[in-house]
A and B are shown apart, each in its own frame.
Chain A
Amino acid sequence: MRSDREPLPKTTAIQLYRSLFLARRSEEYIVEHYPENLMRTPMHMSMGQEFVCVGVCAALDGTADVFASYRSHAAFLAQTHDTDRFFSELYGRTSGTGEGKGGSMHLAAPDQGHILSSGVVATQIPVAVGAAFANLRLATGRTAVAFFGDGAADAGVFWESLNSAALFRLPMLFVCEDNGYAVDTPRAARQVAASLTEAVKPFGADAYEDDSGDVESVYTLAREAVTKARRDRRPAFLNIKCCRYLEHVGIGTDWNWGYRDQATVEREWIARDALKVQRARLASHQVGESAIAALEQEIESAIQASVQRASLAPIPTPDRLHAGVFHAKA
């Protein structure tokens, strides 16, 4: 944790907790209800690493367009807080983000600045560069942020994107949700560079690293990074260490496979779970237990209401199968 950091104001602390709780509870709902076989879409869960997207999206405060990977839930909810369209999409309803055609891996709400989530590793990264490029050219004042895992940093297109963003002097954010694994392969088995953060520096990005596991630390870091990026017109690379609590895809834990040690993960990560830490911090801001509980109940009710609305929404009718493949004739 960054001990030199000024404490954040109470309102920001509450805002961050709300956003964290929303992402966590939404996924807990999924874990509870996925076995009903009504959400028929492969789920790549964010649980444990929500604080990365939550901190960054709060820091950017809607001034950047979001490009996410298939591990899309936290990024989408942190940016949009839109549980209605989120659950509708997971339930395959016309009221979903992609009218039920996209599923968990392909969430998008451009009207709320979540441009896309893509199912093939690293595909979203150059697209974010393109958005930052256009926003700069069109002088919109907006920029772009790409969220991706450390697996994406194996891929050539990550380095191409980093190089071109620096070359084009784009004030964008590359945010690595560094959970240490590509599916179940640890980073050391995939990358020779001891530090990814150091490896990107010669490419012309300002590189930051954070292993606090703390949402406020990420928030503060992202604010600094985007301010400097805008001032110097340089991309920023944020390497945020985090932990995926669940398996690569699916709602279960995967301790039984033995590629990582449960006790170690519990000691190093779950013991300082970002949600738990932030909840404790609210108490230090004199937010009482009943106020926290009320806030949580409000979010719980919103999730239940969204699920209820999804269950009442139409399922796509056969005529929608062919709709939208090509643009209609002008």
Chain B
Amino acid sequence: MNVALAQSASQGTRVLSYAGALLETMDAALARHTNVFIMGQGVDDFKGIFGSTTGLAEKHGAKRVFDVPLMEEGMTGIAIGAALAGDYPITTHIRADFSFLAMNQILNLAAKYRYMFGGLMSCPMLIRIVVGRSWGQGAQHSQSPQATFAHFPGLTVVMPSSSQAILDMYPAIIARHPGPVISIEHRLLYNLDFTVSDTGKHVPLGSYVAREGTDVTVVATSVMVLEALRAAQYVHDKAGVSAEIIDLNSISHPDWDLVAASVRRTGRLVVADTSWLEYGVAAEVCRQLVVRDPRLLKQPPSLLGMAPAPCPTAKSLEDIYYPSQHETVDAILTQVTGAGHGIPLPVERSMTEGYKRFRGPF
């Protein structure tokens, strides 16, 4: 599958996987900034965080790209200390779930340093965490904590949904962002190829319109942006429905004016997020709209996220745990033409079915 961003130029483009984009940006950051270093479990091994750091230790030296013991909280504290002393640390967690071990340092120190000390100190750093999904990842290897992190003032939280988003955002974050940034990457995206453009900026450190439309606004995050884009094409082809897709992209600092303006035009809203709805991104989107103008929506919105349960491993349950292509199309059509839309839904259950290549490693 090759997902082209709507605004990609046909000239001057190339195909680059998500993992490839990560590797390029990590490599470039090490080359460009002498104070950058990368640490995390397995960053210098043969798997290289699913191919996103492979070969960098050999190229840039073991002092700048290195493995650490199993010490998430300690590692994060070390990163904060190094950042305070002038380094730019990049840390990794191969599952978002493992970053929970570092919550104390992230929430109690990193998020608050700048404010708590009246701006005397800041800790610029990038924490890369990977969300797992499919093949029975189960309750402890599948969580998607963007709302949790974004809840705490002081953290910048992004969810790149494409190679272009990484190429555009990561260099800017590493070069200029003065505080801690948490980037939530999605394991299902790593092996996907995207068309990217190396000229101009396409993805801002905020939200952007991934596909223009007039009938309904779909606000999506991470891998759900791809689901939404596919769904938008489907409803266009089958029912002539025009869905506008907004990639929220930044969870902590979205472009709410962009979202509100779109909803003001369409009056209809679908939110498709990778995590739970309760106190989550979907809830925040609704809050932002309601406090601006409770009349923005013509009707109640459709909200898609993980079922409110820990993630089960049995395929029969995992399949219905995640919002799929099926539900995304249904939500869009229900918004535009009502619950009895009668338009056949796509058979394909979910993206994971479409990506037969994905069989781990996990």
Contact = CB atoms under 8 A, between A and B. Distances in A.
A151 B68 CA distance: 11
Contacts of A257: 45-46
B46 A155 contact: no
Contact of B141 (A101, A119, A182, A258): A119
A120 B98 contact: yes
A24 interface: no
B313 A101 contact: yes
B97 A120 contact: yes
A26 to B, nearest CB: 18
A321 B45 contact: no
Interface stretch (B29-37, B69-77, B267-275): B69-77
B11 interface: no
A156 B310 contact: no
Given A250-B361, A320-B317, A325-B310, A154 B70 contact: yes
Interface in A96-123: 99-106, 118-122
Interface in A75-113: 92-93, 99-106
A102 B46 contact: no
A183 B42 CA distance: 8
A182 B79 CA distance: 21
Given A106-B140, A250-B360, 12 more contacts: A40-B315, A41-B136, A42-B137, A42-B362, A103-B136, A120-B100, A120-B140, A154-B71, A185-B42, A189-B67, A190-B68, A258-B46
Contact of B140 (A119, A259, A320): A119
Majority secondary structure of chain B interface residues (helix, strand, loop or mixed): loop
B316 interface: yes
Interface stretch (A197-205, A268-276, A311-319): A311-319
Nearest to B309: A325
A182 B313 contact: no
A101 B314 contact: yes
A316 B136 CA distance: 14
B330 to A, nearest CB: 16
Nearest to A42: B362
A184 B42 contact: yes
A122 B215 CA distance: 51
B343 interface: no
B27 to A, nearest CB: 22
Contacts of A155: 69-71
11 contacts: A93-B314, A103-B313, A120-B101, A156-B74, A182-B70, A185-B69, A190-B67, A190-B69, A190-B70, A250-B362, A257-B45
A224 to B, nearest CB: 30
A265 B39 CA distance: 29
A100 B42 contact: no
Interface in B24-58: 41-42, 45-46
B340 interface: no
B283 interface: no
